[in-house]
Structure 1
Amino acid sequence: MKINKNKKINTNFIYKIIEKDILKNNSLNIKTRFPPEPNGHLHIGHAKSIFINFNISKKYLGKCNLRFDDTNPSKEKIKYINSIKKDIKWLGLKWNENIKYASNYFKIFYKYAMILIKKGLAYVDNLTKNQIRKYRGSLIKEGKNSPFRNRKIEKNINLFKKMKNGYFKDGSICLRAKINMKSKIIIMRDPVLYRVIKIKKHHQTKNKWCIYPTYDFSHCISDYIEKITHSICTTEFTNNKILYNWILKNIGTKNRPKQYEFSRLNIENNIISKRKIKKLIKKKIVKNWSDPRLLTISGLRKRGYTPISIMNFCNYIGVTRKENFIQMSYLEHFIKEDLKNKVKRAMAVLNPIKIIIYNLPKNYKKIIKIPNHPKIKKFGTQKIVLRKEIYIEKEDFEETSKNKKKLFINGKVKLRYSYFIKAKKIKKNKLNKIEKIYCKCYKNIINKKNKKKKKISIIHWVSIKDSIKTKFKIYKNLFKTKYPEKKKNMIQYIDKKSKKVKIGFSQKDILSKILKNYIQFERIGYFMLNNLKKNKNITFTCITKFKK
């Protein structure tokens, strides 16, 4: 068995398992799959699963199938299928051959369900969903048998055929495996295998079926049909593995797939659950699945994250069985790493306050030539203009400050690429808010290193006359709490200031600095240019800000 050694992928316990399997069987053809349910958009947790499954196939020169586990048409939509395909392609990955659907195997699932019935290992149950839950018991209370559990095989066969032919209403009847209602593992207490779901049409099979297999029943059989060698999933499915193996064993399969689990991805101050994201959309807390505050792939793409940054992040965090929470700063680190040598730099002011350099002449104009990137010569140079009136950030000034990084009355800072200035006086409006700051500049030390031991801060700026009004969309984590997934009422922890729109100023020629829609605004962060619209301000979305 050959290994693709060109891919620098972090090793983990799954690779070690696979390599042991290869040593036992050198002719083993590794095959994985990514099996999303088309009931929502992909998120960063799916990206981790995609990374694992697709890179296993690359490393061991195998194949990775994309299979939609479309067994619950009441929650599935074709738009989700399209968005999933788009996201995987955008991440730069290719699946093996044609896309697979669990619905392609509905006839086979039905045949195997009949095999279990004929073996006396499945029965048709008339208990309602709530009754089944009640009979199932709990972790501290044993389950009890359904009154319909001991129906004769012939009766179960006839009822199951009637289910298929549409004789029963939704929720009135189901097919269950006959395992052990006293099992310590709740999922083994006669799990449901088939249920009635009458809808107008399934997005793939149209009106052919009115009964649908559960995920647990269809998933393992789909893996077997597609000859998957290693079925990789998150630890929440650890107990499901027992059912996975029970089903495959009792329908008479050989050379069965092996299931292995890794810890799901959790990121602080964020949620990943599709069910909870749907709740946020329903309550109009976020607009849709592509809201830049969500960690969906479409949301990250809209925020400005690149495929490389997401894949590098997934590689870095590794694969373990231990549950943990990752800081959002790790994901931010990888977008910064990806963009730092790929984009030009410029200056912009998001919260402008006016500076008047009173010791410069009225029509003063100083053209300063600076690099578009301090380390990338091929990006060339640009010209910025210093005039008597400029904008700086409000947060870079405090009237009286002990913070030496700020400008304050009789305090001195250096304008980036230009002069040192000292604040002398301020002008306030009727609301006692600062309107203007009058500063004195020191020309004799332009572009020279300060010889004094005391460090003087450098701040960014734009000339008022040589700037253009610009809109900036700023996003923060959606939740104030680190662990919103653990909260009963996550809504009360929403940060209402997680989205801000600021009107500031950028260099007048800013569009000439954009490379592939990206730019770094010095001292602020990385930004992505939004689609330009007629008679609208130039708009940038903040991908990630620098810490000051």
Structure 2
Amino acid sequence: MSHVDTEVRPSNFIRNIIDEDLATGKHSSVQTRFPPEPNGFLHIGHAKSICLNFGIAQDYKGQCNLRFDDTNPEKEDIDYVNSIQADVQWLGFQWDGDIRYSSNYFDQLHQYAVELINKGLAYVCFLNGDETREYRGTLKEPGKNSPYRDTTPEENLALFEKMRLGEFKEGECSLRAKIDMASPFMCMRDPIIYRIRFAHHHQTADKWCIYPMYDFTHCISDAIENITHSLCTLEFQDNRRLYDWVLDHLDDFQAPNRTRQYEFSRLNLEYTLMSKRKLNDLVVRNLVTGWDDARMPTIAGYRRRGYTAASIREFCKRIGVTKQDNMVEVAMLDACIREELNDFAPRAMAVINPVKVVIENYPEGQVEIINAANHPSKEEMGKRELSFARELFIDADDFREEANKKYKRLVQGKEVRLRNAYVIKAERCEKDAEGNITTIFCTYDDETLGKNPSDGRKVKGVIHWVEASTAKPAELRMYERLFNDPNPAAAESVDEVLNPHSLTIKHGLVEASLVNAEAEKAYQFEREGYFCADSKDSSKDNLVFNLTVPLRDTFE
């Protein structure tokens, strides 16, 4: 029986490796993991890793663990743990078994460190940070041995125990692996594998004051969990040597089919930062409203803005998995969400820059109900009721006193069709003292509801509208890219490339049905774009809508 559903199987180098491992019997099943650090919210780059790790497990009928790499308690928070779980599930995936934490293995990791000390492969070093960097050497020059490198295993065991008991200060000493200070790979020049931190841990409380480093923890956690294919991004390529060195020198992990690390290119997306450290800086300095600000490239930010899980999964599918670093055009992500929403987003009407229209020949006090389709090509999505009356609002940009033939909206003395309603003709307008148009006076043809004019008149344009007495005021958050530079990571300072116009707030009017808009569910505001009710700030009494994406790319 095949291990993979060939109908959904994409081809890439990782899947080719897995196919060979299964065919040769190296592995009888596939076990992957997604191992985020709980030091911030996940971003769109993590979505690629989530789709890869969980997707492979699904396709090969294997398992995927969710494991938090929680070895740095000073920067971690339980809120990040909870947000990461929510993001994985929102994207449509479910981990196998219980949630795992690297801290689950702290006792074992400590024993493995003791094993290396006993084998003469680890030592307690009292060089400070500056001295450690100086001794490490450079890319062109080899490092030199620490004066503490040849301490006996017995002495190192005693010193390591004193570290564990909190008898040294933070930074006073560390446990280092004894590898090769002349290695051409910096990560192999006696890397630190344990350091002292007097910090409360969200899982282990105050049990430990020594914490293992990522490179020591990750490979052992993979091996304990029987991960068959440990998938990392390319920046960990050199670290694979340390990954293998640790496991090669521990007695428990000598099986020929033990876990192996494979690297793929990370996602680099135009106009987007993929550094949690830099994103956190935006949050801390209040340059955005939080990790889930709708301008942020976090999964929570995209969700709040109305992006769908399916569109992000499709984006990850389209960019593929390779070993080659490249910059992905943000237009590809925009195209995925537009295609999704064009098919499934219900239609509605909203006026972003309202100007009043009075239909002078429409009966005063009369309100009629018009049935409008929720989607132009999907009858199963049903209809909604729109109120129509003498006074309406249209968008100020949809009216001109004079215009050329290319302008296909309302022009004084000419006709236009109101979406789902009648043909109207602009007769005259009123202006305020500054010359701004305040009211447009029109007439309507009562024979034109829901059909072409019976007298054969040609009406070129169709505009949207809302009825004055039932329309609801709404705050409309109009978003542009957060950064002006297509590669903001290359800037010396993020501040230099921040877009000051990334958020513009408009106060418009929306049709009454949108009072019941579901948070984070996008609607197509006809002729304007896709919008969704904000999950934090919107309520029936205070409508707030976020621009998901324009109907077409307007950023170029």
1:6: how far off?
A: 7.3
Alpha-carbon contact 2:304-2:520 (below 8 Å) kept: no
1:193 equivalent in structure 2: 193
The residue type paired with residue 16 of structure 1 is N
Confirm whether residue 477 of structure 1 aligns to residue 481 of structure 2.
Answer: yes
Uncovered stretches (5+) of structure 1, i.e. residues with no partner: none
Q: Alpha-carbon deviation of 1:89?
A: 2.2
Q: Using the TM superposition, name which of 507-516 and 238-247 deviates more.
A: 507-516
Does the residue aligned with 1:144 lie in a helix, a strand or coil? coil
State the match for 1:465 in structure 2. Answer: 469
Kindly indicate whether the alpha-carbon contact (under 8 Å) linking 2:350 and 2:525 is maintained by their aligned counterparts in 1.
yes
Partner AA of 2:276 in structure 1: K
Moved more, 190-199 or 414-423: 414-423
Which stretch shifts more, 470-479 or 162-171?
470-479
How large is the RMSD of aligned CA atoms in angstroms?
A: 2.9
Tell whether 2:533 aligns with 1:529: yes
Residue correspondence of structure 1 range 117-516 to structure 2 within 5 A: 117-199=117-199, 201-252=200-251, 253-254=253-254, 255-358=257-360, 367-399=369-401, 401=403, 403-409=406-412, 413-421=416-424, 423=426, 425-439=428-442, 441=444, 447-448=451-452, 456-511=460-515
User: 1:363 & 1:52 partners in 2: Cα distance?
Assistant: 60
Paired residue for 1:538? 543
**Deviations for 1:256-277, whole angstroms, at most 9, x for unmatched residues?**
2111111111222222211011
Query: What do residues 150-208 of structure 1 show as CA deviations (whole Å, max 9, x unaligned)?
Result: 33333323222221222210011011122222322221222111111112x32222222
Q: C-alpha distance in 2, partners of 1:56/1:395?
A: 50
> Size of the alignment, in residue pairs?
547
Counterpart-to-counterpart distance in 1, 2:495 and 2:390: 49
Asked if the contact 1:346–1:513 (Cα under 8 Å) also holds between the matched residues in 2, the reply is no
2: distance between equivalents of 1:4 and 1:478? 40
Contact 2:530–2:548 (CA<8 Å) still a contact in 1? yes
Look up the equivalent residue of 2:436 and give its one-letter code: K
Secondary structure of 1:64's counterpart equals strand
Pair 451,546 (structure 1): closer, same or farther in 2 beyond 3 Å: farther
Percent same amino acid at aligned positions? 43
Answer whether contact 2:307 2:522 (CA < 8 A) is retained: no
In structure 2, what is the Cα distance between the partners aligned to 1:300 and 1:224?
A: 34
Do the aligned partners of residues 202 and 511 (structure 1) sit closer, same or farther apart at CA in structure 2, a change above 3 Å counting? closer
Q: State the one-letter code of the partner of 1:338.
A: E
Matching residue's letter, 2:349: M
| Counterpart Cα distance in 2 of 1:75 and 1:533 | 31
Distance 1:111 1:513, change over 3 A: closer
- Tell me the secondary structure at the aligned position of residue 150 of structure 1: coil
State TM-score, norm by structure 1.
Answer: 0.91
Assess if the C-alpha contact under 8 Å between 1:10 and 1:316 holds in 2. Answer: no
CA 24–40 in structure 1, closer or farther in 2 if over 3 Å, else same:
same
Residue 74 of structure 1 aligns to a residue in which SS? helix
Kindly provide the amino acid, as one letter, of the partner of residue 314 in structure 2. N
Report the CA distance between 1:75 and its aligned residue.
1.5
